[in-house]
A and B are shown apart, each in its own frame.
Chain A
Amino acid sequence: MTAISPTLPNHFRAVLSANQIRPASAADAVCGMQPQLLLEPSTEQQLASALRLADESQLAVLPRGGGSKLGWGNAPSRADLLLSTARLCRILEHAWADLTVTVEAGCTIETLQQTLAEHGQRLALDPLWPEKATVGGMLSTNDSGALRLRFGALRDLILGVTIALPDGTLASSGGKVVKNVAGYDLPKLVTGALGTLGVITRAVFRLHPLPRHSRSFTISVSNPEEAQNIILAIQDSQLAHVALQSQFTSDASPLIDILFEGTEAGLDAQASQFRALCKSAKSTQLQSEPRHGANPKQRAWNARQDLWSFSNPAENAIAKISVLPADLARAAELIGPIAESSRVNWKFLLHATGLGWLRVEGPADNLHRALTILRAELEKIGGSLAVLHRPANMQTFDAWGFSGDSLPLMRAVKSHLDPSGTLNPGRFVGGI
């Protein structure tokens, strides 16, 4: 921890007012690292200036939005300053007739969605903890949910971005229109970059209409093979589902959840098609008929967030997994035996896109063993495993895993945008 000169808070008085600077408290610690100061700029310019001052003073800066995902990535190697976007929270423009919105990074997802809903629109993403998570944090962690299947990932929904670089530059790229190929696609560069290349200050998103009606179904199957057969059959059909996932756990039958949106007539037709597909795809063993809920905000579509509702953080770990869609059964069949031999309980949710989230529960050493073996096995089949939550006392385990042969190139990009390593040092892949 860099010893901060007592005059430093005054140093920042050049760009921020007194009530935007305060000493950090124990509650502001990140992965066991205690920053000393918290800054809350209220404009992009203030944020950029404060960041520049920090960079010049060789301080390590951790950007913070809602603070809901600060534990993702590795622990910072240094942590001097928290740079909060809490006061950069305005919705700057909702161009509803153009289906775009420009919003500051500190706006919560829930606030944004409520405003968009006034014109019957939405940001077609379902990130974690929308009441707390901010636009900047959601982008920086690349957090999105099951709607990705139909509407794309954050990289597909972001049209433009403004970032503050450690040298004080405020740089914008992309634009406000859906179709734009002028210049480099820097919005994609900062998506998922964990704030290590710049602090996002605003973003422009493309929007979608809110669905008129939705219908959700859940079926249970006997084993991962059957789950895979049905899921691949659905993907190969001409159903226009918007979300599709499977849930596995050590002590219950696998479940498949599917979500449809559209007109009543359209939904009726799709429901029949779906039932017919299930009938023909299943084994001769009769399973339960699809249950459907009128309210799709049911258990099934909160399953991802529910993984985090454990009581003891010291005995739980959560990982994000990526495999090929047709490796669904393989992934589920890898996890079971590894979890068993490591003596941990487990729960696994896998979207039809191949992205999944795993919770393992048990003593820290057992969790470490399970994750180590599982990551190795997944990487063998071209997949990946990233740790999002782990016990504080778990043995060292890199959050990201293998980053491939482009790591030197990633380092080069980092060194050009953040030469002093001011932003979130050590948190990203390869220790960036």
Chain B
Amino acid sequence: MGQAGLMEGRREVRALDLGLLNEFGSIVGKRGLICSPEELHTYECDGLTNFRVLPGAVLLPSSTEQVQSVVRLCHREKIPFVARGSGTGLSGGALPVANGIVLSLARMNRIHEVDLPNARVVVEPGVINLDVTGRVASQDYFYAPDPSSQSVCSIGGNVAENAGGAHCLKYGFTTTHVLGLEVVLPDGSLVHLGGKTLDTPGYDLAGVFVGSEGTLGVATKIILRIVKRPACVRTLLAAFPTTNEAGAAVSGIIAAGMLPAAIEMMDKLAIQAAEAAVHANYPDCGGLLLVELDGPLAEVEALMTQVDEICRSNGAWEIRVAQSEAERALVWKGRKAAFAAVGRISPNYIVQDGVIPRTALPQVMGEIARLSRESGLRVANVFHAGDGNLHPLVLYDRRIQGQEDAALALSFKILELCIAAGGSITGEHGVGEEKKCMMSKMFAEPDLATMQRVRCAFDPLQLSNPTKVFPAPRLCGEKPGEYVAHPVESAGLAERF
């Protein structure tokens, strides 16, 4: 496993000397400083395990003041830093800079305030996503953005990536639910962006910060919006001959003026994988649709009848409606297991995260099938049909020479298809390290230059996660690696989605 040479063209970061390590240690305390090589290996990558870089030190502050002091010291000494939440990111956003600092927010995991009448919760960045819902569930509230890693991923990480989840179409993303942030800027100063009330005077810098992948500073407090649970949820499963008919059904649902809470689609290969892994008992079909509606009971029941009709008129030959929470969980089980499940039918895989306009699905699927045939590699497809987020899973065996490179190349060709179809290179995983090379294909030079200008306003010295998001002069997929399950996956705590 090679080390990715990430400083390409940038200044080399000299190794941290003992004096500096002591200074950092005096800020965060002995237990907040990790600098032994064995321990540093834990932080050398995130969920994207084929890129690994050893940092100079890992710091675990436990307060905003400590974060400020650490960042001030980094600013003084021109040391780049990378903030890290739970390390479950899939684009290498938390990949360290060689000899730089990793700033782990894991210790800052307090929920400061729960204000139900105003539907606001104030949390530290290390709070786990699902724990926010856990805190307000007894009053029938929930925190809407639900990435599949939500039992382990942190709010701070969600903020960095503008994390989504299966219910984005109706409920929005992290940025929809972040009202304000306390942020330590890369010079160590503290600012408050947004606030508890709406439309605070000035530019929407909170909106710029969310999704900036740690390149604009470190969030130390986040004001979240929570949502009242809908009165009822109904989930329907429909089996189609192919994904084309399933896609047509989705278009029919949209054309009928309905806005489901979630619409998921799986192709034959993905269904087979799910069956092998968790015995989801899905119908054996070419295209599977999972449609979820939520809201007031009478409304949902009226709409569900229409969804049923639309599916049948588009060729669905089997339809099941989950009648209980247990049945609903079963319906989702297969879908949520799909990523991990492909591990049953292939030694290795690469997952991508492109987005396409919904209407482009048949054409893009056709192209993926062609690329698959040409390369001899199978591709399983899981599609958030509601919002157009496509997760192609490129299956390969790294023991066969050349297959890994071919798989990587194919995964990036699929992203090019997404761009050509008018979509995006990333719907939820972020650009991070992995997809920097694709930014120039999605955006023109003036677009990237303008984003860089905004970045310079926040971080003139380019210390905050400096090597991510924006393109560097390097080829895509230069340092491929085998797919290695992230420790949290192996522990059964999370699934790739």
With A179-B389, A417-B454 known as contacts, the answer to whether A386 contacts B201 (CB < 8 A) is: yes
Query: Which residues from A are CB-within-8-Å of B449?
Result: 169, 171
- B117 on interface, CB distance cutoff 8 Å: yes
CB distance from A99 to the nearest CB of B (A): 6
Q: Which of A97, A208, A322, A355 contacts B359 (CB 8 A)?
A: A97
CB distance from B8 to the nearest CB of A (A): 20
With A97-B254, A416-B457 known as contacts, the answer to whether A322 contacts B199 (CB < 8 A) is: yes
- B62 on interface, CB distance cutoff 8 Å: no
One of B53-61, B228-236, B317-325 contacting the partner: B228-236
B447-A172 in contact (CB<8A): yes
- B332 on interface, CB distance cutoff 8 Å: no
Chain B, Cβ-Cβ closest to A402: B201
Q: Which of B117, B251, B359, B454 contacts A413 (CB 8 A)?
A: B454
Cβ contacts A167-194/B at 8 Å (1 or 0 each)? 0011111011111111111101101110
One of A149-157, A251-259, A298-306 contacting the partner: A149-157
Cβ contacts A235-246/B at 8 Å (1 or 0 each)? 111111000000
- B497 on interface, CB distance cutoff 8 Å: no
B454-A186 in contact (CB<8A): yes
Q: In the complex, A188→B400 CA distance in Å?
A: 47
Give 16 A-B contacts (CB < 8 Å), ordered by A residue: A95-B359, A152-B172, A181-B424, A182-B426, A183-B431, A186-B454, A192-B199, A236-B228, A238-B296, A240-B296, A265-B299, A270-B296, A270-B299, A382-B196, A384-B200, A410-B203
Q: Which of A156, A182, A209 contacts B431 (CB 8 A)?
A: A182
Query: Which residues from B are CB-within-8-Å of A100?
Result: 357
B446-A170 in contact (CB<8A): yes
Q: How large is the interface on A (under 10, 10 to 19, 20 to 34, 35 or more residues)?
A: 35 or more
A410-B355 in contact (CB<8A): no
CB distance from A262 to the nearest CB of B (A): 5
Chain B, Cβ-Cβ closest to A142: B199
Chain B, Cβ-Cβ closest to A323: B197
CB distance from B445 to the nearest CB of A (A): 10
One of B41-49, B101-109, B208-216, B334-342 contacting the partner: B208-216
Chain B residues numbered 289-327 whose CB sits less than 8 Å from any CB in chain A: 295-299, 301-303
B231-A238 in contact (CB<8A): yes
- 10 A-B pairs with the lowest CB-CB distances in the bound complex, closest first: A188-B207, A266-B299, A209-B257, A269-B298, A171-B450, A238-B231, A412-B457, A326-B117, A180-B424, A179-B427
Q: In the complex, A237→B229 CA distance in Å?
A: 9
- B161 on interface, CB distance cutoff 8 Å: yes
Query: Which residues from A are CB-within-8-Å of B192?
Result: 404-406
With A182-B439, A406-B205 known as contacts, the answer to whether A416 contacts B357 (CB < 8 A) is: no
Q: In the complex, A127→B257 CA distance in Å?
A: 22
One of B20-28, B80-88, B162-170, B343-351 contacting the partner: B162-170
CB distance from A98 to the nearest CB of B (A): 4
A185-B207 in contact (CB<8A): yes
Interface residues of A, Cβ cutoff 8 Å to B: 95-100, 120, 142, 152-153, 155-156, 163, 165, 169-173, 175-186, 188-189, 191-193, 197, 208-212, 232, 235-240, 262-263, 265-266, 268-270, 273, 320, 322-326, 353-355, 382-384, 386, 400-407, 409-410, 412-413, 415-417, 428-430
Chain A, Cβ-Cβ closest to B298: A269
A183-B299 in contact (CB<8A): no
Q: In the complex, A192→B190 CA distance in Å?
A: 23
Query: Which residues from A are CB-within-8-Å of B492?
Result: none
- With most chain B CB atoms within 10 A of its CB, the pick from A172, A173, A185, A403 is A185
A178-B168 in contact (CB<8A): yes
- With most chain B CB atoms within 10 A of its CB, the pick from A156, A163, A265, A417 is A265
Query: Which residues from B are CB-within-8-Å of A326?
Result: 115, 117-118
CB distance from B2 to the nearest CB of A (A): 27
Q: Which of B118, B120, B208, B296 contacts A239 (CB 8 A)?
A: B296
B426-A171 in contact (CB<8A): no
Q: For the A-B complex with A181-B427, A324-B196 known, give 17 more contacts whose Cβ atoms are closer than 8 Å.
A: A98-B359, A171-B446, A177-B424, A178-B169, A181-B430, A183-B469, A185-B162, A188-B204, A189-B205, A237-B228, A238-B230, A238-B296, A262-B296, A322-B197, A384-B199, A406-B192, A417-B453
Query: Which residues from A are CB-within-8-Å of B302?
Result: 263, 265-266
Chain A, Cβ-Cβ closest to B301: A265
- B444 on interface, CB distance cutoff 8 Å: yes
Q: Which of B427, B455, B456 contacts A180 (CB 8 A)?
A: B427
Query: Which residues from A are CB-within-8-Å of B118?
Result: 324-326, 354
CB distance from A328 to the nearest CB of B (A): 10
CB distance from B441 to the nearest CB of A (A): 10
Query: Which residues from A are CB-within-8-Å of B457?
Result: 409, 412-413, 415-416
Cβ contacts B175-206/A at 8 Å (1 or 0 each)? 11000000001000011110111111111110
- B255 on interface, CB distance cutoff 8 Å: yes
Query: Which residues from A are CB-within-8-Å of B424?
Result: 175, 177, 179-182
Query: Which residues from A are CB-within-8-Å of B455?
Result: 184
Query: Which residues from A are CB-within-8-Å of B198?
Result: 153, 322, 353-355
CB distance from A52 to the nearest CB of B (A): 13
Query: Which residues from B are CB-within-8-Å of A270?
Result: 296, 298-299
- With most chain B CB atoms within 10 A of its CB, the pick from A184, A208, A268, A354 is A184
Q: Which of A184, A211, A269, A325 contacts B296 (CB 8 A)?
A: A269
B200-A322 in contact (CB<8A): yes
Q: In the complex, A180→B230 CA distance in Å?
A: 26
Q: Which of A182, A237, A383, A416 contacts B425 (CB 8 A)?
A: A182
- B356 on interface, CB distance cutoff 8 Å: yes
With A178-B387, A236-B228, A325-B119 known as contacts, the answer to whether A269 contacts B205 (CB < 8 A) is: no
A184-B212 in contact (CB<8A): yes
Query: Which residues from B are CB-within-8-Å of A179?
Result: 164, 168, 173, 355, 384, 387-389, 424, 427-428
A238-B228 in contact (CB<8A): yes
B254-A155 in contact (CB<8A): no
A189-B202 in contact (CB<8A): no
Q: In the complex, A416→B469 CA distance in Å?
A: 20
B259-A172 in contact (CB<8A): no
Query: Which residues from A are CB-within-8-Å of B427?
Result: 177, 179-181
Query: Which residues from B are CB-within-8-Å of A186?
Result: 208, 450-451, 454
Query: Which residues from B are CB-within-8-Å of A175?
Result: 355, 422-424, 442
B201-A384 in contact (CB<8A): yes
- B258 on interface, CB distance cutoff 8 Å: yes
B203-A192 in contact (CB<8A): yes
Chain A, Cβ-Cβ closest to B91: A181
Query: Which residues from A are CB-within-8-Å of B356?
Result: 177
Chain B residues numbered 95-128 whose CB sits less than 8 Å from any CB in chain A: 115-120
B451-A184 in contact (CB<8A): yes
Q: In the complex, A113→B451 CA distance in Å?
A: 31
With A153-B198, A170-B446 known as contacts, the answer to whether A185 contacts B423 (CB < 8 A) is: no
Query: Which residues from B are CB-within-8-Å of A192?
Result: 199, 203-204
Query: Which residues from A are CB-within-8-Å of B257?
Result: 120, 209-212
CB distance from A240 to the nearest CB of B (A): 5
A429-B201 in contact (CB<8A): yes
- With most chain B CB atoms within 10 A of its CB, the pick from A180, A262, A412 is A180
CB distance from B287 to the nearest CB of A (A): 18
- With most chain B CB atoms within 10 A of its CB, the pick from A237, A269, A403, A415 is A269
- B378 on interface, CB distance cutoff 8 Å: no
A171-B230 in contact (CB<8A): no
- B268 on interface, CB distance cutoff 8 Å: no
Query: Which residues from A are CB-within-8-Å of B203?
Result: 189, 192-193, 197, 410, 413
Query: Which residues from A are CB-within-8-Å of B355?
Result: 175, 177, 179-180
Query: Which residues from A are CB-within-8-Å of B448?
Result: 183
A173-B296 in contact (CB<8A): no
B426-A181 in contact (CB<8A): yes
Chain B residues numbered 381-432 whose CB sits less than 8 Å from any CB in chain A: 384, 387-389, 422-431
B453-A416 in contact (CB<8A): yes
Query: Which residues from A are CB-within-8-Å of B303?
Result: 263
A410-B205 in contact (CB<8A): yes
- B221 on interface, CB distance cutoff 8 Å: no
